Structure 1
Amino acid sequence: MIDLESLGDECPGTLAVSVPGLLALNEDVELPLASAGKLLLLAEVARGVASGSLDPAERVTLLDDDYRGGSGLLRGLTARQWTVGDLALLTAAVSDNTATNALLRRLGLDRVNERAGDLGFARTRVLDLIREPRLPEHPPTFAVGTAAELARFATLLITYGPDEDAPWKAMLLGWMAHNTDRSLVPALLPHEPEDRDVPSVVPPGTVWAANKTGTDTGVRTDVGVLAGARRIGYAVLASGPAGREHDLVKAVRQAGLRIGALALRRD
């Protein structure tokens, strides 16, 4: 298995990898996140629902300005009203850009970033709505952040106990388990992509995955958790020149093998 430093050297652009206390490569470099940045929004939705300040059954009417191309299903569906819970699941499962914009409009960008600070995010933040296309007068990207902050956050999701934080963490982890994109970190790992519930026991030699990915020109990102012999949180961010996205995918998948080996290891 190629070592992490060599993998970083071979990657076009920058490869950042973090598993707190176990793996680190460029983990404090600030990089574009693409849709992995939606985790900050989903965290605030989950915290609002768990605290009772946000009703998951509240209906949100989609506005024309919410609709965006790219990932998602809502542009192909006819309904114009969806619940907050529906929009969160669509954002997590298919990275729906329209659902993301509707939730950002409902909560407010400032609230999402301010509350993200409570979770330890200092350099990881959402800069703007999802835009297709992104013009010169707009912020240069949807979200930016570091692998270290995102991996610590992912680890936080799998270390909850019977405390007041447990409900929102379990809720967010459940949404992430519905992610249909397992093409990056989990791609080469033995896992069942349709397992939605956090298992008490994982079959030997396999992992359970819940993650959020991001895809943009020159960007491939993956943040999530793997549960095997042990549970770990991870973040892998890859950013490079346009046209080299396939090489970024290969680098992220190879990093995924290193991360998976840690989750499978019994010690």
Structure 2
Amino acid sequence: MVTPHPGPRPHVGGTDLEEVTAAVRRRSVPLTLTMCAVDVDGGDSTGHDDGVVVPVASAAKLLLLAEVARRLETGELGADEPVPLTAEDTVHGTGLIHRLSGQVWTVGDLCWLTASVSDNTATNALLRLVGRTATSALAERLGAGGLVIHDRVRDERGTSQRPEVPPLFATGTARDLAAIVAHAARDTLHSPGTSGRLLRWMYANTDHTLVPALLAHDPYAPGFPTPPPGGLLVANKTGTDPGVRADAGLLLGARRVAYAVVAHWDTALGPEAERAAVHAIREVGQALGALALRPAGR
């Protein structure tokens, strides 16, 4: 599923951002590789096919977490509020809950689990609390209306026997994902409290295998969101499905760079395509990291 998403093209900044775009184009295996990068403080942005709608897998959980963060700030939800799990919530794949004995978790617990290990069962419980309509409404308010959560996480997707089940968990564009991260970095997600909460959850993510993989950084460094002198911090959310690798996040260095990179390919191409996709995302990550480390104006 690869479709164009109408909307204004982002402004392309100077050569720094153009170098990031050039990294996207260097690939030998046929795959769709979309990217959007935003210099949070400078305001420039660039993209490559960033308005193309593609499957984004669990990267879309950022939108769900943003809505929960908003409700925690407004008091509509409480962090200590208990949430009993249902049989429909429980799925396998990424996460820990389906391996643990607990059947009641707090809203706060579910958020940390969703952000840190992309827990699918926690995701379903949170989505049941807030509803997909609310996530779509938030996406529209943030100017990221192309990002859509179509369904809860399932062990099996729609088949000819179950055509009512959506074939994908979520779709969106690199521009949509980067926009949500940029809002959080600028404290404009809903409020500074909402923005800070989402970024702290993102900083707990344990998957640094895509954009940050080749960047020199300590994923457990204290002091977030202040990076160490001359160093980088990473707060991100990844997504993995057959034929999909996605990474959306914030690099904090001399500059703050919000980014989203999504690779999509035909699984019939075999494991070589997956390796090429991961390699391409990591190459883009190196360009993004170099940009984040370079002081503005240089």
Same fold (TM over 0.5): yes
In the alignment, what sits opposite 2:8?
none
In the alignment, what sits opposite 1:63?
86
In the alignment, what sits opposite 2:252?
227
In the alignment, what sits opposite 1:31?
54
In the alignment, what sits opposite 2:194?
168
**Counterpart Cα distance in 1 of 2:177 and 2:198:** 14
User: Which residues of 2 match residues 99-110 of structure 1 at below 5 A?
Assistant: 99-110=122-133
Residues matched between the structures, number: 264
**Counterpart Cα distance in 2 of 1:84 and 1:159:** 25
**Counterpart Cα distance in 1 of 2:88 and 2:243:** 26
Deviation at 1:5, TM superposition (A): 5.0
Q: Are 2:136 and 2:145, in contact at CA under 8 Å, matched by a contact in 1?
A: no
In the alignment, what sits opposite 2:41?
none
In the alignment, what sits opposite 1:252?
281
Structure 2 residues without counterparts, runs of 5 or longer:
1-18, 39-43
With normalisation by structure 1, the TM-score equals 0.94
Q: Are 1:222 and 1:236, in contact at CA under 8 Å, matched by a contact in 2?
A: yes
**Counterpart Cα distance in 2 of 1:46 and 1:33:** 21
Structure 1 residues without counterparts, runs of 5 or longer:
none
Identity of aligned residues (%): 44
Q: Are 1:94 and 1:181, in contact at CA under 8 Å, matched by a contact in 2?
A: yes
Aligned-partner SS, 1:65: coil
Change (3 A) 1:47 1:23: same
Deviations 1:132-163 (A, max 9, x none): 111222111111111112112211211228x9
Deviations 1:212-235 (A, max 9, x none): 000000100000000011111000
Task: Please state if 1:198 is matched with 2:224.
Answer: yes
Change (3 A) 1:96 1:169: same
Change (3 A) 1:132 1:254: same
Deviation at 1:164, TM superposition (A): 6.8
In the alignment, what sits opposite 2:4?
none
**Counterpart Cα distance in 2 of 1:78 and 1:40:** 28
Task: Please state if 1:45 is matched with 2:64.
Answer: no
Change (3 A) 1:241 1:197: farther
Deviation at 1:199, TM superposition (A): 3.3
CA RMSD, Structure 1 to Structure 2 (Å): 1.8
Change (3 A) 1:196 1:78: farther
Aligned-partner SS, 2:52: coil
Which moved further from structure 2: 9-18 or 220-229? Answer: 9-18
Deviations 1:69-115 (A, max 9, x none): 11000011001000011001100000000000111111111112112
